[in-house]
Amino acid sequence: MKLSFILPSDLGKSRAFLVEKVLSTTAQQQGHSVVSAAEAERVVLFNDQVPAEAAGKQGCILNLDEAFNQPEQAIAQAVNSSQVFAKATTTTSTNVVKNIVAVTACPTGVAHTFMSAEAVEKYGKSQGWNIKVETRGQVGTGNAITAEEIAAADLVFVAADIDVDLSQFKGKPMYRTSTGAALKKTAEEFDKAFKEATIYEGKAEVSNRFQKKERKGAYKHLMTGVSHMLPVVVAGGLLIAISFMFGIEAFKDPNIAYGLPKALMDIGGGAAFHLMIAVFAGYVAFSIADRPGLAVGLVGGMLATTAGAGILGGIIAGFLAGYIVKFLNDNINLPASMSALKPILILPLLGTAIVGLIMVYLINPPVAGIMESLKAWLTTMSGTNAILLGAILGGMMCVDMGGPVNKAAYTFSVGMITSQVYTPIAAVMAAGMVPPIAMTIATLIAPKKFDNSEKEAGKASFVLGLCFISEGALPFVAADPFRVIGTSIVGGAVAGALSMMLSIELQAPHGGLFVIPFVSAPLLYIGIIALGSAITGVSYALLKKAE
């Protein structure tokens, strides 16, 4: 049996060495092995302080002196113990200075990923901890955590809104939360982490928090799909926009510019845009069912694309593929000699067949009809309806600055790009740029109402706003949520409504200032953003109380 001895932190080094040596030697003589707490079948403690690495483990609490004097009986008692340490009462048994490793990841892999990482690192250093934060952004892993740092870690703190690979942390105490909570309530989240951290057992484990809140699970799956689809959408949209710079219909003539407009359209519209819903559905399924769900989700998403079912069909395909593959994986039991066939043959074959047939016969026909009607409604929309939709989308973008409501509006607008409807994304981008730019305006026109740190944050938020990173306003939201969010919704709604009313189109789903040349009416669009930002900035400056 695998045993682990966790000695009290206040025990002298010499005494600790002697006790561990006696017990380890006795255990090995009886045919047992001594391992780390993460690998142990039985954990032996010597006081009532349960460290995080012992939480959920079976073991016993022994008297230190009796165990030292009668090691054979101590080992026998440990082996036969049936006590389970339900939860940790202390975070670490040996270290005075805590060693923390953290991982952050958000759906777009841009703003929340790095802002929450900065907040976590800053707080950890202020507490005197050894802390390292790994970011999982769109450009890959940054500040990667090493195996040695994982081995020494007392806590793994994960702030992620999407599904991320945590396999290297198996056996370590882990606490999981969102990037928004880590950014806005850093101290509170760490307090919870030290009380609620549990040993991470691998992919199959889901924390109680997420078991109880299925809505958050669905949101995480959707955002995993969006985060992987976004680079495909951005690349395709920009290439199409560049093609249009040669003329709106230049791609139809292969003789213009040596066929460059046509080639760009084939790459952007023919390849990238044709793939985007398949990638989205594939990674939604991946988030639910891990690697076996990916292939099935890709096929389901491609079927939705070819049938014209659009983003709605892709959402259904992703969830359908994920949960069907998960069900098959949980319920198909094979002999050990055939288990290798399950992930490469049985699950892909059955999953693809079942999901494919459901999509072809049941899902695609009605959903394609719905998407066609929605497309027709949006392309012919004018007047009050356009203003109302733009105001709703614009307001949603400013409710939580990168949170679920913001992402819902953004995902809808990106999805409409796949149906060749380009007005919603223009409205959403204009509104999303308003809050951070507006905070800069407020700090400039009412400097006496802001302290030095807020003025510095105002300078940074302007740059972030120009890049369409709404999260630049979050420092102000954290300090004064009601006034900032309220005024931002007003300015965002105005910007969104005007953009829709004027039928401004944009084929690139992200980029802010850098994609304005690809907007159908660039100068008018800049004016709309400026107006919305001015409304929010001035109103917030007037409403904010002086420091």
Residues of the chain with CATH 3.40.50.2300: 2-85, 99-200
CA distance linking residue 308 with residue 304, whole number of Å: 6
pLDDT tens digits, residue range 426-470? Answer: 999 999 999 999 999 999 999 999 888 788 888 888 988 898 888
Q: What is the pLDDT of residue 25?
A: 85
Give, in order, the Cα–Cα distances in Å from 273 to each of 117, 265, 495: 32, 10, 27
Q: What is the pLDDT of residue 223?
A: 81
Give, in order, the Cα–Cα distances in Å from 146 to each of 2, 110, 163, 478: 26, 23, 21, 33
Long-range contacts of 379-386 (CB under 8 A, 24+ apart): 379/421, 381/423, 381/500, 382/501, 382/503, 383/501, 386/423, 386/497, 386/500, 386/501, 386/503
Give, in order, the Cα–Cα distances in Å from 143 to each of 119, 137, 140, 159: 15, 11, 10, 15
Q: What is the pLDDT of residue 213?
A: 41
- State both tokens at 279: 């990638």
List, for the chain, all residue ranges whose pLDDT scores fall below the cut of 50.
Answer: 92-95, 204-215
CA distance linking residue 279 with residue 266, whole number of Å: 18
Contacts of 139 (CB under 8 A, 6+ apart): 109
Concerning whether 106 is annotated as a catalytic residue, the answer is yes
CA distance linking residue 149 with residue 476, whole number of Å: 34
Q: What is the pLDDT of residue 297?
A: 96
Q: What is the pLDDT of residue 13?
A: 55
CATH architecture for residues 2-85: 3-Layer(aba) Sandwich (3.40)
Is the distance from CB of 135 to CB of 80 less than 8 angstroms?
Answer: no
Count other C-beta atoms under 10 Å from residue 547's C-beta. Answer: 8
Is the distance from CB of 40 to CB of 4 less than 8 angstroms?
Answer: yes
Question: Can you give the pTM of this predicted structure?
Answer: 0.62
Active-site residue among 60, 106, 398, 467?
106
What torsion, rounded to 10 degrees, do the Cα atoms 351, 357, 360, 365 define? -110
Phi, psi of 20 (to 5 degrees): -65, -35
Instruction: Tell me the H-state helices in 398-480.
Output: 404-417, 423-445, 452-466, 474-479
Closest C-alpha among 311, 312, 278, 313 to residue 297: 278
Looking at CATH, the fold of the domain delimited by 99-200 is given as Rossmann fold (3.40.50)
Q: What is the pLDDT of residue 203?
A: 58
